[in-house]
Chain A
């Protein structure tokens, strides 16, 4: 058996290479793969948009409802160069972002505080749990009309919608994160001399942080959804308002252009969140390739 093995192995051995050569080859392979993925992505995009454009032009789909990619691009270019019907594009984006950011920050802070407070208090958790479940069962977005009636067409109503969208997600995760804090670690802190507040501050909150961050990530998207839905229902400015106006005048390129602007804004926000997260949660094991570089 062993003889057979060594016989099959010896001829298959490649000419001896140094570690450097192997590493260089591996790196080249990685670069090649990355380029291939990128090429396929671009090809897919061109295919989709091109197909859409062609289908619209030859009448396979009705451009009146579905617009054409070229029209959408032209609309965005016009918005950037000449402004929208409501004012400069940047101002509209800023209005939506302001609503989303204020709603996100207030909702996140409230959610974290409530989640930690309730997570650390078993009795309060038992009392509130049923109501939290009920509140969670309400599709929060249906509250938007009420907020608009109550707080008017301006910033406060949109902030309120974004707030409820964010609050429950962050709250649920902060609560769960606190409950999942490692028991041995808490016992260790207590025996080392930690007071209840010390345990919360230096064990429970840090260990809940990765749960909280996971929720912050998705909930910023929710904050934008909340702000835009609020604007759709009634407002004077914002991307949601642009979309609402376009819809009102059967201007489908305008609706799609508003969506594209939203996508770009949401993705930029997502990248920013990831960057902040990496800065704060530094103690987590890095990916292998990172660990090797330091």
Chain B
């Protein structure tokens, strides 16, 4: 038992991932990619566009299979979708034809939780994300920030031990984004799931994470890993002005910039 608990939550070992493009060409998204995320750890992945950030998440969910190497979740090799995983998408993945309540309750109902229990639980989560009174609204009647809250409630209600987030706040305006980041840290602070947070926003990564993984421009592999030793609990709106935060930000940006330039140059050439 003890050694099961001591295995890392997520382990990617020498993973390769190749795609076939629609015109039949093979494209390498990840090459010799290795990372581990400990239990209860908040890891962030940053990298230039098209470096395979999202691919890593798809591998962990089991929605995609590695072409080589191994992906383990809680010590077991990934085979299919693990029920302990929660995923928050970049795009709006809410069901537009379901009300807020029906969206939040969807997970428990898919998982065969009795309806009464699921409803009580969903109402509780709706209140926790500050949407009490909006249970019967449809997503199109809510603002972008409110929709993201619904998405968080929808994911957290399943009590995921592993939380994967794919640029979840990138579509929000700056003020709303900061509010949502604070909210995420509070929700996470309760149950301490293991998080992999993919973003292209370096400041966001530093503000939220325990460790930041910088990827090379595609094919992606881990270029360097930075420990973020800023004390918790953190307040996002203030931490940006912390001298140590700025120091870290400069340090990691120097590293990231090269990759961004490579990726940018490649895009212009294409």
Contact = CB atoms under 8 A, between A and B. Distances in A.
B93 interface: yes
A206 B93 contact: no
A192 B61 CA distance: 11
Interface stretch (B67-75, B103-111, B210-218): B103-111
Given A188-B87, A283-B98, A193 B110 contact: yes
Contacts of B154: 192
Interface stretch (A10-18, A65-73, A195-203, A214-222): A195-203
B110 A195 contact: yes
A24 interface: no
B110 A206 contact: no
A285 interface: yes
Interface in A43-92: none
A187 interface: yes
B97 A191 contact: no
A246 interface: no
Given A192-B154, A206-B97, A184 B110 contact: no
A117 interface: no
A182 B110 contact: no
A190 interface: yes
A15 to B, nearest CB: 36
Contacts of B107: 192-193
A191 B106 contact: no
B98 A190 contact: no
B87 A187 contact: yes
Could you say which interface size class chain A belongs to? 20 to 34
A187 B63 contact: yes
A191 B86 contact: yes
Interface in B21-69: 61, 63
A88 B106 CA distance: 54
A207 B96 CA distance: 9
B95 interface: yes
Interface string B92-123: 11111110000000110011000000000000
B180 to A, nearest CB: 18
Contact of B140 (A187, A202, A285): A285
Nearest to B154: A192
* Residue of A190, A281, A282 with most chain B CB atoms under a 10 A cut-off: A190
B97 A283 contact: yes
B95 A185 contact: yes
A191 B85 contact: yes
A17 to B, nearest CB: 31
A265 interface: no
B184 to A, nearest CB: 18
A192 B107 CA distance: 5
A193 B158 contact: yes
A224 to B, nearest CB: 30
A271 B86 CA distance: 45
A191 B61 contact: yes
Nearest to B92: A184
A3 to B, nearest CB: 34
Interface in A166-213: 182, 184-185, 187-195, 198, 202-203, 206-207, 209
Contacts of B94: 185, 188
B224 interface: no
B79 to A, nearest CB: 14
A202 B89 CA distance: 18
A284 interface: yes
15 contacts: A184-B92, A187-B89, A188-B87, A188-B93, A188-B94, A191-B61, A191-B85, A191-B86, A192-B111, A193-B110, A195-B110, A202-B98, A206-B95, A283-B96, A283-B138
List the 9 closest A-B pairs by CB distance, nearest first.
A193-B110, A188-B93, A192-B107, A283-B97, A193-B111, A285-B140, A184-B93, A206-B97, A194-B110
Given A184-B91, A185-B93, 9 more contacts: A184-B89, A187-B61, A188-B89, A191-B85, A193-B107, A193-B158, A195-B110, A198-B110, A284-B96
Interface of A: 182, 184-185, 187-195, 198, 202-203, 206-207, 209, 281-285, 291
